[in-house]
Amino acid sequence: MKKRANAMLWIVLASSLPTGAAWSQAATDPGQQAQCRADVSKFEQAIGYIRQTQGNQAASDLKEKLLPAKLETEILFKDGYCGLARHLHDKKLHR
């Protein structure tokens, strides 16, 4: 069941995140900040899809495995949504 949830997550997360110089502009560019929020939202929507199809426990377990709550909070406080979007991209959680 977990493999199925993982496979569904990768399918749902098939989107492109900014790369290279786009990340460095994110802190000052309001448009880029909005894109970062949208990218994080896509991840959350994918987790929501897993919740609907596999149940709360499967979604919670998968999210904690992929992005532990403590790490998510640390990144948000330190680097904001663009930092979190960058982390999702670096960990290849966007595809």
What separation in angstroms does the CA of 57 have from each of 45, 52, 82, 87, 93? Answer: 16, 11, 28, 24, 20
Q: Per-residue pLDDT tens for 22-60?
A: 444 455 577 888 999 999 999 999 999 999 999 999 999
Residue matched to tokens 């290849």:
92
Q: What is the reported pTM? A: 0.68
The answer on pLDDT for 84 being more than 60 is yes
What separation in angstroms does the CA of 86 have from each of 1, 2, 7, 76? Answer: 28, 25, 21, 11
Asked if the structure places residue 95 within a domain, the reply is no
* 93 in Cβ contact with 66 (< 8 Å): yes
Tokens found for residue 53:
């199809």
Question: How many domains does the structure of the chain reveal?
Answer: 1
What is the extent of the structural domain holding 44?
2-90
Q: What is the pLDDT of residue 29?
A: 79
